[in-house]
Structure 1
Amino acid sequence: MSNLGLQIRQAAPHVDPVVADYAKGYLEHLSTATQDAVQSKQLSLTDEVTFLKSLLVSAGAEESKISPLADELLKKLNLQLSENQARLEVTGDTSKRLLDINVLKSHDNKANINTSLALLGVGGDIEHQGRQIETRVDLKKLEKAEKKIAKKVAKRNNKFVKYEASKLINQQNNEDYDSFFLKINPLDFGSGAGKSKDIKIDTFDLYVGDGQRILSDAQLTLSFGRRYGLVGQNGIGKSTLLRALSRRELNVPQHISILHVEQELRGDETKALQSVLDADVWRKQLLTEESQINNRVQEIEKLRSEFNEESLEVKKLDNEREDLEGHLQQISERLVDMESDKAEARAASILYGLGFSAESQQRPTNSFSGGWRMRLSLARALFCQPDLLLLDEPTNNLDVPSIAYLSEYLKTYPSTLLVVSHDRAFLNEIATDIIYQHNERLDYYRGQNFDSFYATKEERRKNAQREYESQVAYRKHLQDFIDKFRYNAAKSQEAQSRIKKLEKLPVLEPPEEEKNITFKFPDCEKLSPPILQLQDVSFGYDKNELLLNDVSLDVQMDSRIALVGANGCGKTTLLKVLMETLVPIKGYVSKNPRLRIAYFTQHHVDSMDLNTSAVDWMSTAFPGRTDEEYRRHLGAFGITGTLGLQKMALLSGGQKSRVAFAALCLNNPHILILDEPSNHLDTAGIDALIRALKGFSGGVLMVSHDISVISNVCNEIWVSEEGTVKRFDGTIYDYKDYIISTATKAGVVKRH
């Protein structure tokens, strides 16, 4: 590997000398790697050489000249590694000259060059396992080179951090969970000891894949041990920010472990409990290594007996055993720290709290529906207890009992939590701070839950509006004086003074306007009772296993009923019986012959033709009106202007839900039967839904997990459990206390 500097200079004569020196030093460090590093996939020489190639091209080198040099260097490095292996076999050398792949990661992406260089500059030296090797590059010159390269990349891309969501999601989907976990959270003994786990990322821009900027000159500060609620309108980029953090697209320190729950678990034959245990890849890997080392130590003992005590082979075996026993001690200490012996009991407790019975915990994961697999993903994350836990709408697939358990569990979460949620009651329970994402920036409301944040935000907005109006009035006062006396000889000096004052005033920007979203369910004529009744209804897909048994329920024109209970207990089945899409085995359903019902379920959103506009879809699915009438009706649900004319694929989840609400209400219903109506709605949408339901002239029966929606709309609570449905004597908060009390008695959660 001699004459590296000359070779690089000849192939890239126009590159800054500091960058060339950096590349030379980097390659010399690579030459210290051993064969073991490559075989154990701790180091990929191809990836590292590719990174250097992209670095030099970004700094001004011609790719046609750099590519042959890169190929030649890769051959030499592979040859040198082969020689290292041969030397090890002869000498029994056990020194660990492995490059830290945690530092040399993800260099093949040009957009990551600035981040990668910053990582390499930390601490002055490139980290190695076992011993430190002083860098041969002048750090001041290196810093200058980093800034130059970063400036070029930023200028070319017109951005600082580019996050391509679809590419990275596919990247995770193409990797197995263990590989992706270790890529994001490499296992490194003692690397985080004594280091702060606070996160502070200064002045970054964040773009989504199509070039749309979602954050500009933003700062992200997360204090270890705090629980942050990330809120903002639908489509503002909250989920994108979480994904960028979870893949270290933003510069999160390497010693901070991260786990993101955003998609359901892939099903296979693994049992649910074992799936949760396997989620802690560090524990799984340590246990595997512990077993392998113990087996190898036993083999060494047998092999030693075959050789003379003074032989070279015995010396090599003793050296190997000494290294193995030292590593085994590290593994044992790490397993004790993570309380590995209590893992199975803790995993079972988490699963039970999220609704998995002891029997279902032994079922294979591919036997669960999508919603239950999402719960498994959540259970796996809670079991791992990463330093930074990222949750994206965790309550969407949970019932009220599971949400109650989750909120109690998270109240004592020992590390940092960042959660995206529109569930006010949930955020009020668990959040210690609120981060408000809007207008390409992040605003912090420290020490506040959602309700106090909402009040403070509104007060800030009013103060900003008053200040803006005051400044406008002051400007107008100055301008009026100037216009009146500009050409008056006696007053001209005063006019000039006011002109200077006006010029020095800062540029005015009006406060951000809150988007006022409205829903309006159409009024309906009154009907005489009975409106809709169930009388002693029993139903089951199997007559021997009834989901509903002797259920009686009465819905009136003024009803506001919330149906709650654990998932799988028959709530949705009950709604389908009411709608007469399922026929009861026993009992009967009676309803007023003139009754019109609107039934909302997430299925209606999923079944839309997203390649058409909302107006075209409604005219096809519900014909009989003009386009103008459809647009006016959509406007009553916040789909105004051109939103009704653009493809629904471009609408957010909340906007699609509004289209579904509008479509269902075209027949002026007397009764609204709603299955999880608040899913995918942001805070403004939920507020609009609450107002509309409270003002609706007909009856409402809803299945919902959102406690704030239930408490604001419903005056009756019906609980589905143990095969029957009964009225609960109390409010939704009383029901939540009942759930927590039951879980506390069972030892699943601890009351705080």
Structure 2
Amino acid sequence: MTRCSDFIKTEFPLIDDDLKQYVEDVLENGAEDFEDSEEIYEAVGEVLHEISGDKSEDEIRCICDKLLNMLKPNKEVVTNANGLTKVLNAPIHLGSMAANLESNVDDIKSIWVTQRDDSLKVDAKKLEKAQAKLQEKQEKRSKDHTKAPTPAKLESATASQVTSKKESKMEAKGNNRTQDIRIENFDIAYGDRVLLRGADITLAFGRRYGLVGRNGLGKTTLLRMISCGQLRIPSHISVLHVEQEVIGDDTIAIDSVLQCDTEREELLRKEKELSAAINSGTADAELSNELTEVYTQLQNIEADKAPAKASIILNGLGFNKVMQSQPTRTFSGGWRMRLALARALFSRPDLLLLDEPTNMLDIKAIIWLENYLQNWPTTLLVVSHDRNFLDTVPTDILYLHSQRIEPYRGNYEQFIKTKTEKHKNQQREYEAQQQHRAHVQEFIDRFRYNANRASSVQSKIKMLEKLPELKAIEKEVDVVLRFPDTEPLSPPILQLNEVSFWYRADTVIFSNVNLGANLESRICIVGDNGAGKTTLLKIIMGLLNPTSGIRIRHTHRNLKFGYFSQHHVDQLDMNVNSVELLQQSYPGKPIEEYRRQLGSFGVSGDLALQTVGSLSGGQKSRVAFARMCMGTPNFLVLDEPTNHLDIETIEALGKAINKYNGGVILVSHDERLIRMVIEALGKAINKYNGGVILVSHDERLIRMVCKELWVCGGGSVKSIEGGFDEYRRIVEQELEAANK
């Protein structure tokens, strides 16, 4: 085996130790069983091809021949019937050989076997052994195919940055007390893909920053790099990143929030211990003084007001008095994420990092959070795609694009105006410089060989060399989503008559609901979390049966629902790429059709070949849309579809819904999306013949899509006049009444 090992290393100098050991183990274990080089090629040929790079199949097979000779150096060579072996390594003239047949009989016999060679007869025992071995290989392959696929190894993010010697010395001595955060000249990569290169970010204390940019550019990764310490900031600055939900245990909700104030908790613990010691009869003046000091500290931090503050935050995020007293283990994952947000708001770190905080909230909680964060006292960095949230909360916008971060003063609306004007000026400057360059170059080309103009030509050339190199503005590609065209169906499509539903007799979700929808409908369902919006959708689709009442749906066999769940990410296989995901759901189609379907939702090129687990949240949502529409549904049921989508994709979603000629039910809290659909609907109503029901918290989407608003809550579902503006007015009145 030593000879084999050296030979492999010589032929494949770039082979790593693990692969080399694997090949050696296969050869050593099968040395006795290998009958010919073909079996060696079957065993290790594929591996050798992968590590060789440029070697042909014939070269690999030749290497396998040599390996067989090393493993079995004494293997007999089968000769022909005459005991002679003739190698034809040069052209021969058969006519001349035939003319001299008598003199060169041996030569001719060495080419053609003139009598049957018994050694070429089939050996029954060897044939049986070969068949058994082949059967064993086939069984092994079938077992390998039935095994669960090995989870794909997801790439991880890495960061590097350059820090000045001055700041490093101040940090080492503990003299750096600034509250501002400067991270300069840093890079972030995700696997082999560079997200940020030579970027800079400055966060001034007390300002609120909105981080925006297209899906997949690295916004969430940047927050994680800051929170985990891979990007260094002054050590005295406390950082809190709301990313993980609160662990469910027996701790009640309000205590879970109060416990994150560690200073208060420690002082209360000391106060309890000292009081117990004094009450036990220990008359020690020192203990009394220490207890007095603890009381003073508790008074300074206003510890007695902490429960009321925690209760206000929890109430604003949707926890009523009963829920605040319930153990955290009784809450779902979404509510435990709200608890994590409540803990962060209560603890008030120096730097608060929020990633899509509105995803888990209903409209009432979003409005409360917008108002609360407008008075946030420390530094806030938030990733959000909610246009109304970004117009209300941030004082500054950080625009991530082209592997760098560009700062803008003002909210999102101001950012759009400033960026548009800035890009226009840059483009005008670039075009003017190009015209100037062309004019000067024309002069140079015209008089280059004119001796009288030589000095002028040289000065023009030097002037061109000194001009700064301006670049044309890179225009971002518009996001376009395309829903499939569907066949028109005659109404009625969906009808609920006197429908009621409850899980338990004492918990009625809604009762006596009378609603209808057809392919011309654009219906948005709004309401508090837990009011029954998703339950209503499942009844409409037939996934749940109403407790009482009648659900009527179109009897035509072509009525197909496309359901986009708010937990769509949980339904995706993270270990395959997007093309393979569609193949699993809709097998038998050409690869080009899967690629075309993904491309219609913005997942194209190499992105479609990445594992789903390595995609950003918004990119996973697009893949889920592509899979949903692959079955050509004619009634879309969209439950919080804007979660994780960037602003441009939300705009594209609203436009796609308005162009869709099927029915749509939308659940959303995204005000912008709702506004978009309403605005566009007035223009498209005469040309449009499809229906939509939307459940959403995205105000923009609701305003885009809907002309009819259903409010789910209070044990009922009702339609309101005045659209979203009227609904928002009602919500704000309820919040004002609750705060009095």
Common fold: TM-score over 0.5: yes
Aligned 8 A contact 1:393 1:422 in 2: yes
**Which amino acid letter does the alignment assign opposite residue 466 of structure 2?**
K
Contact 1:120 1:126 in 2 (8 A): no
TM-aligned CA deviation for residue 564 of structure 1? 0.7
**Of 693, 711, 724, which residue of structure 1 is paired with 2:716?**
724
Decide which of 259, 262, 280 is 2:243's aligned counterpart: 262
Equivalent position of 2:544 in the other structure? 582
Q: Report the equivalent of 1:712.
A: 676
Secondary structure of the residue that 1:547 maps to in structure 2? strand
Amino acid at match of 1:629: E
Task: State the match for 2:339 in structure 1.
Answer: 376
Deviations 1:218-253 (A, max 9, x none): 443333332221112223222233234334554544
Matches of residues 376-525 of structure 1 in structure 2 within 5 Å? 376-446=339-409, 448-525=410-487
**3-state DSSP class of the match of 1:527?**
coil
| Identity value in percent | 47
Taking a change above 3 Å as real, the CA distance of residues 382 and 527 of structure 1, as seen in their structure-2 partners, is same
What residue number does 2:652 align with?
Answer: 688
Alpha-carbon shift at residue 642 of structure 1 (Å): 2.7
Contact 2:510 2:716 (8 Å CA) reproduced: yes
The 1:482/1:620 distance shift into structure 2, 3 A limit, reads: same
Q: Tell me by how many angstroms 1:264 deviates.
A: 0.6
Shift of 1:119: 7.5
Q: Distance in 2 between matches of 1:381 and 1:630?
A: 43
Which residue matches 1:14? Answer: none
Of the three residues 254, 260, 264, the one matched with 1:279 is 260
- Shift of the 119–235 alpha-carbon distance from structure 1 to 2, 3 Å rule, reads same
Aligned-partner SS, 2:485: coil
Structure 1 Cα separation of the partners of residues 227 and 582 of structure 2: 39
In the other structure, the counterpart of 2:583 is 619
Following superposition of structure 1 onto structure 2, how do residues 221-240 of structure 1 map, counting pairs within 5 Å?
221-240=202-221
Task: Give yes or no for contact 2:161–2:231 (8 Å, CA) kept in 1.
Answer: no
> How far 1:126 moved relative to its partner?
6.2
Q: 1:226 and 1:402 mapped to 2: Cα distance?
A: 22
Matched, 1:339 2:331: no
TM normalised by structure 1 equals 0.68
2:597 to 616, 622, 633: 633
Amino acid of the residue matched to residue 482 of structure 2? K
2:272 pairs with 288, 291, 301, which one?
291
Aligned 8 A contact 1:208 1:240 in 2: no
Q: Given the alignment of the two structures, is residue 739 of structure 1 paired with residue 734 of structure 2, yes or no?
A: no
Shift of 1:635: 1.5
User: Any stretches of 5+ residues in structure 2 without a counterpart?
Assistant: 1-158, 678-705
Q: What letter is aligned with 1:497?
A: S
Query: Residue by residue, what CA displacement relative to the aligned partner does 1:10-41 show, whole Å, maximum 9, x if unpaired?
Result: xxxxxxxxxxxxxxxxxxxxxxxxxxxxxxxx
Q: Secondary structure at the match of 2:359?
A: coil
The CA distance in 2 between the partners of 1:677 and 1:274, in whole Å, is 34
Instruction: Please state whether the residue corresponding to 1:265 is helix, strand or coil.
Output: coil
CA distance 1:436–1:495, shift in 2 (3 Å): same
Paired amino acid for 1:469? E
Shift of 1:298: 7.0
Q: Following the alignment from structure 2 to structure 1, what is the Cα–Cα distance between the partners of residues 170 and 333?
A: 43
Query: In the alignment, residue 281 of structure 1 is paired with which amino acid?
Result: T
Q: Distance in 2 between matches of 1:126 and 1:708?
A: 47
In 2: Cα distance, 1:290 partner to 1:497 partner: 83
**Amino acid across the alignment from 1:472:** Q
Q: Distance in 1 between matches of 2:605 and 2:185?
A: 33
Cα distance, 1:209–1:687 mapped onto 2, change above 3 Å: closer
Query: Using a 3 Å threshold, how does the CA distance of structure 1 residues 123 and 381 change in structure 2: closer, same or farther?
Result: closer
- What does the per-residue CA deviation read over 1:142-178, in whole Å, with 9 as the maximum and x for residues that have no partner? xxxxxxxxxxxxxxxxxxxxxxxxxxxxxxxxxxxxx
CA distance in 2, matches of 1:291, 1:214: 51
Q: 1:200·1:219 contact (CA, 8 Å) conserved in 2?
A: no
250 and 332 in structure 1: CA distance in 2 versus 1, 3 angstrom threshold:
farther
> Shift of the alpha carbon at 1:262?
1.3
CA apart distance, 1:702: 0.5
CA distance in 1, matches of 2:280, 2:231: 46
Whichever residue aligns with residue 716 of structure 1, its letter is E
CA distance in 2, matches of 1:712, 1:737: 19
Deviation of 1:481 (Å): 2.8
Deviations 1:92-147 (A, max 9, x none): xxxxxxxxxxxxxxxxxxx99997997884399669xxxxxxxxxxxxxxxxxxxx
CA distance in 2, matches of 1:336, 1:213: 51
Q: Contact (CA 8 Å) 2:160, 2:231: kept in 1 or not?
A: no
* Shift, 1:210, TM fit: 4.1
Task: Quote the RMSD (CA, aligned, Å).
Answer: 2.9
Deviation of the 1:673 alpha carbon: 1.0
Cα distance change on mapping 1:297 and 1:541 into 2, 3 Å: closer
What is the total number of aligned residue pairs between the two structures? Answer: 553
Which residue of 161, 165, 170 maps to 1:122?
Answer: 170
Q: Show the counterpart of 2:312.
A: 349
1:444, distance to aligned residue in structure 2 (A): 1.7
TM-score for the superposition, normalised by structure 2: 0.69
Between structure 1 and structure 2, the one with the greater Rg is: 2
Alignment-derived partner of residue 596 in structure 1: 560
Alignment partner, residue 89 of structure 2: none
